[in-house]
Amino acid sequence: MNIPSKGANGAKGPGGAGEIRVEGVTKSYGSAQFSKTVIEDCSFTIERNKLTVMIGPSGCGKSTLIRLLAGFERPSSGSITIDGKPVTGPGKDRLVVFQESALFPWMTTYDNIMYGPRARGEDNEATRAQAEFLLEKVGLRAFRKKYPPQLSGGMQRRAELARAMINNPDVMILDEPFRGLDAMSKELMWEYYAGLFEETHRTNFFVTTDIDEAVFLADRLIVMTNVPTRVRSVIEVDIPRPRRLANVFDSDAANDVKMQALSLLHQEAMRSFSGGSRAATDFIEAYARRNSERAAPAKPN
């Protein structure tokens, strides 16, 4: 039993599925007089079978971009395609996992995971076996009969990942899914999630504001500008998989990517700082602090 892999087993052709192209996308809200442009002339590709991470300052427009990718909203101009087809609305080829839990509190972990297949009338041997496999993968086999309020925050996020993956979308889109977890649960989630990705190499797009999370997970790291957002830079992350906490954060490769990304984000903060934004001041301080926290402690032995 295995998680059906997109591409590796040829399910959607040898190249896999779910390549998303964003070309010259602009999104503004409001009428002409009071309009606010959140995304401006933004272009990038979410490559199939890769884990693309997007990092950008809070409020730069990442969730707005996700709503466009999901098809919940339309760009003001520019185009978004998935495997060459225009995105004109929500579709089962794309599945979004949000920061807020979407688990049904009145259903057990198992029933939550089986929700999608059952809604499609697919409560069959294959999907039940798939649910068992995913329960095992996310470490929740012993919690299958518990209800969401009986699970820790990290367990709820893991249940949510399993609930999304059983639907086998071409692309998984995740909007800061581990935000709000304590530091230790968060690092455990990185390992679980990286393991799930490494099992399938499904196309994944993961949005975060956490630099360590970004470096740990990414095959490609897209660094965004401040609002109105567009791509500042794309960094290819050449850290071998499987990724585990012990082997990633000690590596020079991880450190190099982190320094490159921090420098770009810092420049973005400085630019909006000179524009007088209070958020930017907080941002610079937060990143300077994070940077020194990670760099400071001496390694054991």
Ligand X SMILES: Nc1ncnc2c1ncn2[C@@H]1O[C@H](COP(=O)(O)OP(=O)(O)O)[C@@H](O)[C@H]1O
Q: Which does 104 bind (CB under 5 to 8 A by kind): Mg ion, ligand X, none?
A: none
Q: Considering the complex, what minimum distance in angstroms separates the CB of residue 207 from ligand X? A: 7
Are 26 and 79 in contact by the 8 Å Cβ rule? The answer is no
Q: Which does 106 bind (CB under 5 to 8 A by kind): ligand X, Mg ion, none?
A: none
Q: Which does 29 bind (CB under 5 to 8 A by kind): Mg ion, ligand X, none?
A: ligand X
DSSP letter for each residue of the chain: --PPPTTTT-BTBTT-S--EEEEEEEEEES-GGG-EEEEEEEEEEE-TTSEEEEE--TTSSHHHHHHHHHTSS--SEEEEEETTEE--S--TTEEEE-SS----TTS-HHHHHTHHHHHTT--SHHHHHHHHHHHHHTT-GGGTT--GGGS-HHHHHHHHHHHHHTT--SEEEEESTTTTS-HHHHHHHHHHHHHHHHHH--EEEEEES-HHHHHHH-SEEEEEPSSSB-EEEEEE----SS--HHHHTT-HHHHHHHHHHHHHHHHHHHHHHHTT-HHHHHHHHHHHHHHHHHHSSPPP-
According to CB under 5 A, which one of 5, 37, 63, 260 is a site residue for Mg ion?
63
Interacting span for Mg ion (CB under 5 A) from 18-26, 61-69, 222-230, 239-247: 61-69
Q: Measure Cα distances from 166 to 16, 135, 137, 203, 212 in Å.
A: 18, 10, 12, 15, 28
Work out the number of other CB atoms within 10 angstroms of the CB of residue 223: 23
Interacting span for Mg ion (CB under 5 A) from 44-52, 56-64, 225-233, 240-248: 56-64
Q: Considering the complex, what minimum distance in angstroms separates the CB of residue 43 from ligand X? A: 17
Q: Considering the complex, what minimum distance in angstroms separates the CB of residue 227 from Mg ion? A: 11
Q: Considering the complex, what minimum distance in angstroms separates the CB of residue 241 from ligand X? A: 27
Distance separating alpha carbons of residues 213 and 167, to the nearest angstrom: 25
Q: Which does 99 bind (CB under 5 to 8 A by kind): Mg ion, ligand X, none?
A: none
Residue nearer to ligand X on the CB measure, 76 or 167: 76
Q: Which does 228 bind (CB under 5 to 8 A by kind): Mg ion, ligand X, none?
A: none
Q: Which does 227 bind (CB under 5 to 8 A by kind): ligand X, Mg ion, none?
A: ligand X
Q: Considering the complex, what minimum distance in angstroms separates the CB of residue 54 from Mg ion? A: 10
Residue nearer to ligand X on the CB measure, 204 or 208: 208
Q: Which does 58 bind (CB under 5 to 8 A by kind): Mg ion, ligand X, none?
A: ligand X
Binding site for ligand X (CB under 6 A): 29, 36, 38, 56, 58-64, 227
Residue nearer to Mg ion on the CB measure, 62 or 201: 62
Q: Considering the complex, what minimum distance in angstroms separates the CB of residue 175 from ligand X? A: 7
Q: Considering the complex, what minimum distance in angstroms separates the CB of residue 66 from Mg ion? A: 8
Residue nearer to Mg ion on the CB measure, 63 or 277: 63
Residues near Mg ion, by CB under 5 A? 62-63
